[in-house]
Amino acid sequence: MLKYVLLGFLNYTPMTGYELKQFMDESTANFWHAKQSQIYTTLKKLEEDGLLKSHIEAQESRPDRRVYTINEAGRADLNDWLSQPETELQPRKEGLLVKLFFSAGSDKEKMLTQLRLLRDLHQRQMEHYETATHAFIRQIAEGMPQLEKDAQLWDATRRFGVLFEEMFVHWLDETIEKIEQW
């Protein structure tokens, strides 16, 4: 999947691996993320596979930077992938649910502390999507009017993140209340 995330971003504009990581952190992080090392490894493989090319740009008083550009083969591969329908639900893994499933014999207060901490994290993440991520999308859309439709879809994925976090906070509130009543 990272392959297509990178090709998708490069389909908008040439970028460095660092820039790709920054864009990913501000836009797709609620549904797809990667470490910087994974991004560079994947970019190298994509270039070896002939789906993009790179060139070095010299910089004054900074290290040179490698800029990646998608090519026609990369666009064709991306478009082929985009046209494939999703026909199966993707399995989820949620470590918290595994812990909770087996926690009936655990210390109640420790469990509540963990759940409250997670509630705070999900609340903050929701607020980040509502403010910083929303502003990031709006800024790009205003600076590049040709991406108006893209920005609407980006905002739809941001909204998914908000709704997911709202659901998680609501579920945590219910679960905390149940455990408090033990």
Q: Is 61 exposed, middle or buried, given 0-12, 13-18 or 19+ CB atoms closer than 10 A?
A: exposed
In a domain, 88, yes or no: no
Q: How far is CA 89 from the centre of its chain?
A: 18
Q: How many domains does the chain have?
A: 2
In a domain, 162, yes or no: yes
Single out the residue in 32, 51, 83 at which a domain terminates.
Answer: 83
Same domain, 72 and 104: no
CATH number at residue 39: 1.10.10.10
Query: What pLDDT score was predicted for residue 80?
Result: 97
Query: What pLDDT score was predicted for residue 65?
Result: 95
The pair of three-digit structure tokens given for residue 166, joined into one six-digit string: 């709202």
Bridge partners for 15 per DSSP: 68
Same domain, 99 and 68: no
In a domain, 89, yes or no: no
Query: What pLDDT score was predicted for residue 30?
Result: 84
In a domain, 23, yes or no: yes
Please provide residue 93's backbone torsions phi and psi, each rounded to the nearest 5 degrees.
-125, 125
Single out the residue in 58, 83, 108 at which a domain terminates.
Answer: 83
pTM of the entire predicted model? 0.82
In a domain, 28, yes or no: yes
| Regions of the chain short of the pLDDT cut 70 | none
For the chain, give the secondary structure using H, E and C: CHHHHHHHHHHHCCEEHHHHHHHHHHHCCCCCCCCHHHHHHHHHHHHHCCCEEEEEECCCCCCCEEEEEECHHHHHHHHHHHHCCCCCCCCCCCHHHHHHHCCCCCCHHHHHHHHHHHHHHHHHHHHHHHHHHHHHHHHHHHHCHHHHHHHHHHHHHHHHHHHHHHHHHHHHHHHHHHHHCC
Query: What pLDDT score was predicted for residue 100?
Result: 94
Task: State the residue range of the domain holding 19.
Answer: 2-83
Same domain, 77 and 111: no
Per residue in 92-140, pLDDT (tens digit) is 889 999 999 999 999 999 999 999 999 999 999 999 999 999 998 999 8
In a domain, 126, yes or no: yes
Same domain, 109 and 156: yes
The pair of three-digit structure tokens given for residue 87, joined into one six-digit string: 């026909």
Same domain, 169 and 118: yes
Query: What pLDDT score was predicted for residue 81?
Result: 97
Query: What pLDDT score was predicted for residue 140?
Result: 87
In a domain, 61, yes or no: yes
